[in-house]
Structure 1
């Protein structure tokens, strides 16, 4: 019967991953795990671990169960202080951690965590997730009880057994959400970003577009000015790309596109580029536009830089391709 219940739960996970949005799916995870392990409250988090093992985690995104009245990121901020979370992140434990919150926090004189646990009636915790912190992103789940009932070894074994399925279905669910952002089957450059700028999931086209602006861009985080702009007003326009973002599925749904080549040029630069490509000399352009030849030379240098070209032949080719 136990094996059958576990198998059914795994099936439900994959089924829900395909059928729900990410914010809905986190609730499905809590519901399904609750059939196997009893708990009162829970937190599902993703985090960034520093390369220095002595550093604390930076928790980027959190879903909470039975904590609707409390700001979710308060849970995340307290995770940073929790030695059990750090132990899991740095591979100092080999399996799920079952702890007594009051005993641990009082014993180590962790007043902030102890007050947080008392205020929220968090007496027992069972924690497990991805480890070690060798990748830019890891996830874990924490189950809480507000009673003195211990989490058993059987509970820990079940959580460890189902975690791989939870981790895989989260990725599956995020990719499903990404596919929903595409319109009419076109290959848009899309990604889902959490509120702290971490890229939860993205497609290859998004990375190609990002590298137009930042050649060394990797898949971890958006550049800080970009993240701030998207969170504050939903739009970022750089030198070569533009990104727009809307709230969707509990994340920022971002679409990136390259700025059309000639949108990069000011009207005055376009006037010069058009005439230079047609064979006019610096002096002829200057006379026709009532500017100095020196200004023409400067503008042509700026045009080359903005368009990423190095010769008049390349400019002619680009102008003909408009």
Structure 2
């Protein structure tokens, strides 16, 4: 009773969360997820666990970490059973909601299912509990599942609530750990993750976003209203594939801190300009030398829309000619 009471105490729960953030500076990046899962045992006992990172639609796996979960079992699940897993599907459809099989219907239905008879039961998985968090802009998600082998030891409501509460801290700690790791390998002098302004993401060489903060997502949604990650929008992806460390797209300057296989893409602070994202796209192209008809063709909008945008741009920026527009935009940080 004493051990369980200690585990259930608020102090123990808070210490576990604090430990996750302290581990950002202590654990190697390739051990962070496994060791973080093991730390959860202090407040939610389990027999095995997995932590996956990636995107759901289309499915893209960045990495899977396991705690006492054999690799061959992961392979068998991915190949044969994931598409039959109603619990995983439900968890993915309801980000932030921690769910167990019994939360979806009578647990007897689960024990009668093919996935239990052919995979879960033989693998020693009697109880499962999972949760996801998915960034609605970048489409990048983190999934954590805990498993127990004793049918007489289901996960309690308290444990379900605790996993839901701790999941945002797991994701935030992992983002910080990944950021510190990439910053340590970046070729930018004196780059410090703590010194980065709000609005940054970790991307790979193919332009896939692996992690980002909320400010990055909000700005990307404003710049690219129809974009859904994890791959960067085409205009931004094309601008970052060269050797430049600063690029300007849709009126926003991005800094690229290049590392090894991953880089940090951050939003540069911008002077306050009253242009909408659509107006910024027109202004950028028009100032670069495109004619108004060419801007319309490039953006897939009508010439009348371009003329209306240019009228608003000239009025908002207080300029009266293309030369003045070029000079005004040149006052911004180089891109």
Residue of structure 1 equivalent to 2:325: 314
Q: CA deviation at 1:126?
A: 1.7
Residue of structure 2 equivalent to 1:287: none
Unaligned runs of 5+ in 1: 51-55, 259-298
Q: CA deviation at 1:87?
A: 3.2
Give me the whole-angstrom Cα distance separating, in 2, the residues matched to 1:236 and 1:72: 39
Contact conserved, 1:48 with 1:58, CA < 8 A, in 2? yes
Contact conserved, 2:142 with 2:171, CA < 8 A, in 1? no
Q: Deviations over 1:121-171 (max 9, x none)?
A: 3432321325999995665432234x5x21524x33342132133213124
Give me the whole-angstrom Cα distance separating, in 1, the residues matched to 2:173 and 2:77: 23
Q: 2:34 aligns with which of 11, 27, 32?
A: 27
Give me the whole-angstrom Cα distance separating, in 2, the residues matched to 1:190 and 1:71: 36
Q: Greater CA radius of gyration, 1 or 2?
A: 1
Contact conserved, 2:130 with 2:146, CA < 8 A, in 1? no
Q: Aligned residue pairs: how many? A: 263
Contact conserved, 1:49 with 1:133, CA < 8 A, in 2? no
Residue of structure 1 equivalent to 2:160: 160
Unaligned runs of 5+ in 2: 184-190, 269-287, 299-312, 315-320
Q: CA deviation at 1:82?
A: 1.0
Contact conserved, 1:178 with 1:202, CA < 8 A, in 2? no
Residue of structure 2 equivalent to 1:129: 131
Residue of structure 2 equivalent to 1:292: none
Give me the whole-angstrom Cα distance separating, in 1, the residues matched to 2:68 and 2:20: 21
Give me the whole-angstrom Cα distance separating, in 2, the residues matched to 1:68 and 1:76: 13
Give me the whole-angstrom Cα distance separating, in 2, the residues matched to 1:107 and 1:151: 17
Contact conserved, 1:25 with 1:173, CA < 8 A, in 2? no
Q: CA deviation at 1:237?
A: 9.2
Q: Deviations over 1:278-307 (max 9, x none)?
A: xxxxxxxxxxxxxxxxxxxxx94479979x
Q: TM-score, structure 1 length as denominator? A: 0.54
Q: CA deviation at 1:74?
A: 7.1
Give me the whole-angstrom Cα distance separating, in 1, the residues matched to 2:329 and 2:54: 45
Q: 2:144 aligns with which of 141, 153, 158?
A: 141
State the Cα RMSD in Å.
5.6
Residue of structure 1 equivalent to 2:212: 201
Q: 1:86 to 1:204 in 2, by over 3 A?
A: closer
1:1-322 correspondence runs (5 A): 1=2, 2-7=4-9, 8-21=11-24, 24-45=31-52, 61-67=63-69, 69=71, 78-90=81-93, 95-97=99-101, 107-110=112-115, 114=118, 118=122, 121-130=123-132, 139-145=142-148, 147=149, 149-150=150-151, 152-153=153-154, 155-174=155-174, 176-177=176-177, 180=180, 181=183, 183=192, 185-187=195-197, 190-193=200-203, 197-202=208-213, 204=215, 208=219, 215-216=224-225, 220-223=229-232, 240=249, 243=256, 246=259, 252-256=262-266, 300-301=289-290, 311-317=322-328
